[in-house]
Amino acid sequence: MGQTGWSMSSVINETKATVVAEEVRLADGIWSRFWGLMGRKALPEGVALLLRPSSSIHTAFMRFPIDVVFLDRSLRVVKVVPELKPFRATIALGAHSALELNAGAAVGAGVQKGDQLALVDQE
């Protein structure tokens, strides 16, 4: 707990049978969640940041828009915020975690409220 790092997991949308992200970075400590994507120039294609726990996020000091997918404890989608611009904030009641993706990635994977997502270990 409390560490940030690359996992050997991907995120799939079980409801739509699509890949949401090929690699997931976990931010589950107070500082890793706080820093998130701040100061980065971009998020690599196919990569996501999972902030856990988190029912709200901000894009202060970010340089690019992102898609945010809020999830409950079972990874069911509570809310999708497409193309959230820098220096904005959003919240989702009932969310336990937030998945940050490149702008357009959530729509591209067909992610919608109520969809069931899953973390799948890669070998």
pLDDT, one tens digit per residue, over 65-91 is: 999 999 999 999 999 999 999 999 999
β-sheet with 9-13: strand ranges across:
18-21, 9-13, 117-121
Record the tokens describing residue 58, joined without a space: 């901000």
Domains of the chain with bracketed CATH = 4-121 (2.60.120.1140)
The whole-model pTM stands at: 0.86
- Collect all residues with Cβ–Cβ distance below 8 Å to 17 and sequence separation of at least 6: none
Q: Is residue 35 predicted with pLDDT exceeding 70?
A: no
Cα(122)–Cα(81) distance, integer angstroms:
27
The residue type found at 20 is: V
Strand 47-51 relative to strand 23-27: parallel, antiparallel, unpaired? Answer: parallel
* Residue 48 near residue 11 (C-beta atoms within 8 A): yes
Q: What is the pLDDT of residue 50?
A: 92
Q: Is residue 33 predicted with pLDDT exceeding 60?
A: no
Rg (CA), the chain: 13
